[in-house]
Amino acid sequence: MPITGILVALVTPFTADGSAIDEANLAHQVERMVAGGIHGIVPAGTTGEFTTLTHDERKRLTELVIAAAAGRVPVLPATGAQSTAETIELSRHAQDAGAAGVMVVPPYYDPLRMHELRAHLGAVGAAIDIPIVYYNVPGATGLRLTPEELASLGEIRNVDYIKDTSGDFSSVSALLLKYSAQITAFNGWDTLTFAALATGATGGVWGMSNLLPSLSVKLYEALAIKADLELGRRIWDVLWPVCDLLESYNYVAAIKGGLDAIGESAGPVRAPLQPIDAATQERLGQLLREAQAFEAGL
């Protein structure tokens, strides 16, 4: 299946006490995304709270999302871990479960040097037969690569894509306009989505799409398919305030607060994360309702 368009960085629903994955709710969230026209699903990433999931929970989450998607859209679980061995194990498991690809964030405690990163990704790429999306998130990993270095990762077996969450549009522009033949870039920074799509990004891996899936898709279609800049700007006018608010707070907590505000709760965030305050949730809910009303009038 093609890996393009809007890939939702899916939330992980938890039971009320946060002790377990809410499997029924997870199936519901996947169905919402598919019904909204989302082009692919990335479970167990940052928005999916992978850092608080056990090894077994990550595997179970992958299996559940692939089963719920039922071949309708590609699923690319995030399989990055602190060791190469565990990353390989999670990636092989994802492939065996039916994943279309995997997203790999590098170890994020002790930043790797370039030759170590290449060895790490090379070992993962040699162990599987599905594409790898390299998750470039220097704010979390401490690993800051130039556009040329990022593009060079495309030389590694199966490393075909990048999710760029650097927040550096100069770097994104170089990836899209200078190095597109070497690696395919997805945007991963919410407030840069319009600019990245207008510049030619293949798509985005987007946590905000949990809240407004169909409007996210409409933005992509306006800019990447129809080349309708006027429509794209109108849609972005209502999406940007949502993205701006999400980036101003703990992102995962804000996403889950937004889902609560629109009646699509995915349960609590896991500690040590804490929910957003009531005033912020009310403001976010207002923005989401305004966006839904705008979409209904399109």
The whole-number pLDDT of residue 110 equals: 87
| CA 121-125-130 angle, 5° bins | 135
Contact 111, 141 (CB under 8 A): yes
5-228: what CATH class? alpha beta
Nearest to 37 by CA among 9, 80, 70, 72: 72
Residue 214 in tokens: 């169909």
Coil vs helix vs strand at 1: coil
Residues marked active site are found at 135, 163
Nearest to 123 by CA among 81, 156, 76: 156
Q: How far is CA 88 from the centre of its chain?
A: 20
Exposure string for 204-237, b = 16+ CB within 10 A, e = fewer: bbbbbbbbbbbbbbbbbbbbbeeeeeebbebbbe
| Long-range CB contact pairs, 225-228, < 8 A, 24+ | none
Cβ-based neighbours of 277, under 8 Å, separated by 6 or more? none
Cβ-based neighbours of 92, under 8 Å, separated by 6 or more? 127, 128
Going residue by residue through the chain (298 aa), what tens digit of pLDDT does each one get? 789 999 999 999 999 999 999 999 999 999 999 999 999 999 999 999 999 999 999 999 999 999 999 999 999 999 999 999 999 999 999 999 999 999 999 998 889 999 999 999 999 999 999 999 999 999 999 999 999 999 999 999 999 999 999 999 999 999 999 999 999 999 999 999 999 999 999 999 999 999 999 999 999 999 999 999 999 999 999 999 999 999 999 999 999 999 999 999 999 999 999 999 999 999 999 999 999 999 999 9
| Predicted structure pTM score | 0.97
The whole-number pLDDT of residue 1 equals: 79
The whole-number pLDDT of residue 2 equals: 86
The domain ranges of the chain are 5-228
Q: How many CB atoms lie within 10 A of CB 7?
A: 31
